[in-house]
Amino acid sequence: MSISKKLMIGAMTAFLGVAASGYTSTDFFNVHKEYANKGNPDAQFNTGWCFDSGEGTRKNSGQALSYFRRSANAGNPNSMFHLGLDFEKKGNLRQAAVWYKKAAAKNHEVAIFKLAEFFEFGKGGEKKDWKKAAEYYKKAADKGFVFAQYRYAVCCAMGKGVPQSWKEAVVWYKKAAELDKKHGYAPYAMAQYNLAWCYANGQGVKRSLKDAFYWYKKAAENGVVDAQFQLAECYAKGDGVAASKDWAVYWYRKAASNGMQKAKIALKTYGLN
């Protein structure tokens, strides 16, 4: 068992008044199920999560939903969100929207993000509304949800639902591109790529090939194919970094192996495939 899972189990069992040392996933399930059956909404959510994920017990979607529903009806926003997610997976978007709205009203950032998507794409009985989509993306972004930060940055860059502003887009691309220690979210690679593009083109920020190279490299290492090609171009041209044929070829090959035709053409200039 990972250290993080042990800490989670220890913290939750301690919260429920149970000695924490040495607890396993099965202990976690058993303890929470006991308290869930006594009416504790948080324990009901965790019991549902165990049934849903198969942690500490066999997967049982019916039991998971039963505990989620009991917990949601008692006001637990995590359970409300999971019910919304289940309805969305089953194609019942109207009911998904109902539960996402309940969870969002209790400041569940992912539920707020899901509602923003519903407004952007006109799902769940909602009309397409970029203004509302941007509003909800911003709410989730302010709570540190990295995907919302990226989507709000896109809204700013495109002028969708908010006044067009590259400067504001850069602010939010940077938030999504960096490790969020406060909220615990990992960086988002596409935000890193878009931020690199902004630096390379002087959009919303002073042009800096050095900073563009830095962020292209981050995005390339995180698997963004366009970034892998642009990083190869940086090495080939000496943009923001000392020119290096070896590194240019390395990243062209990376991009080519991921299907980018331009990278394959670039390799031919070196007499390589």
pLDDT for position 22:
63
Q: Provide the whole-model pTM.
A: 0.86
Would you call 127 helix, strand, or coil by DSSP? coil
Of 136, 100, 141, nearest to 119 (Cα)? 136
Q: What is the pLDDT of residue 11?
A: 45
- Residue count (the chain): 273
CA 233 to chain centre: 29
Each residue's pLDDT tens digit, 196-247: 999 999 999 999 999 999 999 999 999 999 999 999 999 999 999 999 999 9
Domain 1-75, CATH: 1.25.40.10
Q: Give the type of residue at 264.
A: K
**pLDDT, position 259:** 95
Residue range(s) in the chain whose domain bears CATH number 1.25.40.10: 1-75
Q: Which residue has the tokens 């899972």?
A: 5
At 243 the pLDDT is: 96
Q: What is the pLDDT of residue 140?
A: 97
Residues 26/28/30/33 CA torsion (nearest 10 deg):
-140
Residues of the chain with pLDDT under 70: 1-22, 180-186, 273
Give the pLDDT of residue 5: 46
pLDDT score of 7: 38
Q: What pLDDT does residue 8 have? A: 47
